[in-house]
Structure 1
Amino acid sequence: MRSPTADPVMVVHGPEAFDAGDVGRLIDLLSPRQVLVAGVMARTAAEESGLMVVCTDERPSVVLAALSGRAFLVNRGKTPESGRIFGELVAGKLPGLVHVETSSGTVYCWNRGDVVLAEEIARLTGYALAPVASDETQREDVREIRGCLPGEAVFVNGIVIGTATAETVVLASEDGSLRPVSGLDPKPHGFEKLLRAGLPDIRRAWCKSGAVRRAPPGRGERARCRGRIAVIDHCGHTLYGELGEDVCGVLAVGDDTTAVCGHICSHSGIPVFGVVDGDGDGIVAPGYASGSVVVEVQIGRDDDVGQELAAVRDLETDSWEEWVEETLRVLGGRVRVVIDLRGG
């Protein structure tokens, strides 16, 4: 009889499952008909892995909800407990979910999901099978971010809003603003950047904690030296939407945004000109393509300098190196170069 795992789609969340070798191993064991990748850094890790997958920029719940056939989620949480919590969050948005959590070696069958599929995956992988139910109770104006490790960065919609001081961070939306209730050492500038785009729907916002990827980036051949310069201002998670074959470099504004753009573009060989002011949160392993330059603002904030450059500098160039030289001249003594990989 045909194996129940022959037809399902595997949906992979996060880079860790690729970096740890889980995805390749599960493909060999389960033979899914397709592998879909959810998330920005997962896409980077997937591209570096060389595996035959299809990358999306959507969240796992959105990807899974759009599938008409059988499917299962693969995740490797930073801890087994955070992995289980993540699966519960995804399951709360779906009628049922089969969740393979590689950090603990568990196949969770959430909310009466496809039991036959879950049992077969558990048999083929040797993982434990755990039928579970998600807790869907949630106040309309309050959001809990669970599974945090004290000291790590906390994100809302890709922007760091502070540092966790407890395992659960509680945020509240009230009076047209967003405030921390407990478990967070807030970063006022982070809240400012978040609210600049409008008050997020706290129930549906993308919230997470910890590094976006712990493994170092891959290194690729240098990309083209002429073309368009993409501008990414405090929203590194939008980078893939801006990258195209005509891009020869990236102007990144903000410490964490510069780090994320540098990490992603390292594999593609695309240099980054980063504008920072020294308030980074160490959310990703550093790495930059050849030709990259990072400057630290000495007077003012990276926001202002970055916006100025995006407004006054031509974002089409015949030479990335010449564009960088002229940009440094425009900035003059207002910045100091902290990373310079030109000629490297």
Structure 2
Amino acid sequence: MTLRIGVIVHGPGIIDSGYAKKIIEILSKYGVVSCKLGGTMGRTAVIDGNLEDIIDISEKLLPSQSIKLLSKSNDILFLLNYGKSTVTGHTFGYKVLGNAGKDINLVQIERPGEDDGTIIQWNEKSDEILIDNIAADLDLPVIKADEVKSLVKDLTGYDKNNSCIERKIAGVSPGENIMVNGTIVGKATSDELVIIGEDNHIVDMIGGIIKQHGLEKLGEVDLSTAIVKTGLLRKADNIKPRIIEHESNDNLVVAFLDHAAEDIYKYRDVDLLVSVGDDTTLLSSDILYRFNIPIIGITDGDLDKVVLEGFKHKDSIIIQVEPGNDDIIGHEIHDCLFDGKEKINIEDISTFTSRLLDVIDKSGLEYKFVDKQLE
């Protein structure tokens, strides 16, 4: 009977390194392989690598959700990840397995190509001969789950006392952005970070500085289940974006976005996007560049730099207003031009842009056009 192998690819690192494709090809020698992306940030890397026919990116799924789905129709699952360190990679696998269900037959391939790369056998169900063969193919050592758990258990997790919760975050470096559910809420000042919540709101950090504006955007959050990331969302410095031709709608469609945690890919069929916020604009511009879609970004110079390099359509316009006023102007634009809606139809982009600039002019705020957000 042919072995059915499910592969969960997580994050852009494993794709940009070339190892996702290589490992999938290796696994295909041992059985029939089906692949899904787990997480959202790897989607751009899949598109750039022209791997949509190999890695399914049609759904927006958490890694644990992809694992649960693939576990229903496969004999063994492989989680491919390229964490920024052994600690973050192993901690990620430990938490994901906890969310997905510990009885799942899961093997993690972590940081292949690095000196500290490993294959983690998360339970005893896995075929030892198969794992040894794949380890030989990749020249990686195999370690057992207990060994990993002993390393990461004290570095992660949370303590809860009534309405108060303290969440430990592993593998942090000073200066890194702290993202909770896709929103930047602070910056790390230490390699030991604890996020403190009370009544479903973040109230303090040990080893980090809170970004108040980020907390306002985030709102209520359950720290016991929240997705917390630190550092850059995509670190590769040799990215070659793949451009997919955009076919304009008969009636041009403009969308409005003011929250980076939204699924930006759902705007791949619009003709123009108005984005509010520095990092929202940076991400929107970078992603929609692949679909040949321009944006108009409303920023105030408060960029946290969530990617190493951002791309911008030749017709995109980045407008920087006075500090602290991007949200205010954004609301004005949303009310005046969009009538509070997410999407509207327009006759032409030039006229719409003029109307948008009129809204800013009437506010009396000073503004300037910015060619590049990242220098």
Q: Which amino acid aligns with 2:64?
A: S
Indicate if the aligned counterparts of 2:180 and 2:227 stay in contact, CA closer than 8 A. yes
Indicate if the aligned counterparts of 1:30 and 1:124 stay in contact, CA closer than 8 A. no
Q: What CA deviation, in whole Å up to 9, does each residue of 1:219-267 have, x standing for no partner?
A: 5256345522222212244212x3253x101111111111111111111
Deviation at 1:318, TM superposition (A): 2.5
From 120, 124, 134, give the equivalent of 2:137: 124
User: Who is 1:162 aligned against?
Assistant: 186
Indicate if the aligned counterparts of 1:10 and 1:73 stay in contact, CA closer than 8 A. yes
Indicate if the aligned counterparts of 1:41 and 1:264 stay in contact, CA closer than 8 A. no
Q: TM-score, normalised by structure 1?
A: 0.89
Q: Aligned partners of 2:229, 2:124: CA distance in 1, in Å?
A: 26
SS in 2 for 1:138: strand
Q: What CA deviation, in whole Å up to 9, does each residue of 1:30-57 have, x standing for no partner?
A: 1152111122220111011112221132
Indicate if the aligned counterparts of 1:236 and 1:260 stay in contact, CA closer than 8 A. no
Q: Aligned partners of 2:88, 2:78: CA distance in 1, in Å?
A: 18
Distance 1:49 1:267, change over 3 A: same
Q: Aligned partners of 1:252, 1:331: CA distance in 2, in Å?
A: 14
Matched, 1:212 2:233: yes
Q: What CA deviation, in whole Å up to 9, does each residue of 1:281-319 have, x standing for no partner?
A: 111121112211111112652111112212211432232
From 264, 269, 272, give the equivalent of 2:292: 269
User: Who is 1:82 aligned against?
Assistant: 88
From 109, 113, 121, give the equivalent of 2:121: 109
From 254, 263, 267, give the equivalent of 1:229: 254
Q: Aligned partners of 2:240, 2:216: CA distance in 1, in Å?
A: 30
Indicate if the aligned counterparts of 2:15 and 2:46 stay in contact, CA closer than 8 A. yes
Q: Aligned partners of 2:318, 2:324: CA distance in 1, in Å?
A: 16
Q: Which amino acid aligns with 1:35?
A: C
Matched, 1:338 2:351: no
Matched, 1:153 2:177: yes
Deviation at 1:142, TM superposition (A): 2.1
Distance 1:47 1:299, change over 3 A: closer
Q: Aligned partners of 1:261, 1:322: CA distance in 2, in Å?
A: 22
Distance 1:176 1:214, change over 3 A: closer
- CA RMSD of superposed structures (Å): 2.3
Q: What CA deviation, in whole Å up to 9, does each residue of 1:172-196 have, x standing for no partner?
A: 221453122311111111111111x
Distance 1:99 1:274, change over 3 A: same
Indicate if the aligned counterparts of 1:217 and 1:264 stay in contact, CA closer than 8 A. no
Deviation at 1:105, TM superposition (A): 2.6
Matched, 1:73 2:79: yes
Percent of residue pairs bearing the same amino acid type: 30
Pairs within 5 Å for 1:1-344: 6-31=3-28, 33-51=33-51, 52=53, 53-55=55-57, 56-67=59-70, 68=72, 69=74, 70-93=76-99, 94-95=101-102, 96=104, 97-101=106-110, 102=112, 103=114, 104-112=116-124, 114-116=126-128, 117-133=130-146, 134=149, 135=153, 138-140=158-160, 141-195=165-219, 199-215=220-236, 216=239, 218-220=241-243, 223-224=246-247, 227-240=252-265, 242-245=266-269, 247-284=270-307, 285-298=309-322, 300-314=324-338, 315-332=344-361, 334=365, 335-339=367-371
Q: Which amino acid aligns with 2:135?
A: A
Q: TM-score, normalised by structure 2?
A: 0.82
Q: Which amino acid aligns with 2:288?
A: C
SS in 2 for 1:139: strand
Gaps of 5+ in 1: none
Distance 1:61 1:307, change over 3 A: same
Deviation at 1:66, TM superposition (A): 2.5
Indicate if the aligned counterparts of 1:98 and 1:109 stay in contact, CA closer than 8 A. yes
Q: Which amino acid aligns with 2:66?
A: V
Q: Aligned partners of 1:292, 1:14: CA distance in 2, in Å?
A: 27
SS in 2 for 1:229: strand
Q: Report how many residues are paired.
A: 333
Q: Aligned partners of 2:10, 2:278: CA distance in 1, in Å?
A: 25
Gaps of 5+ in 2: 339-343
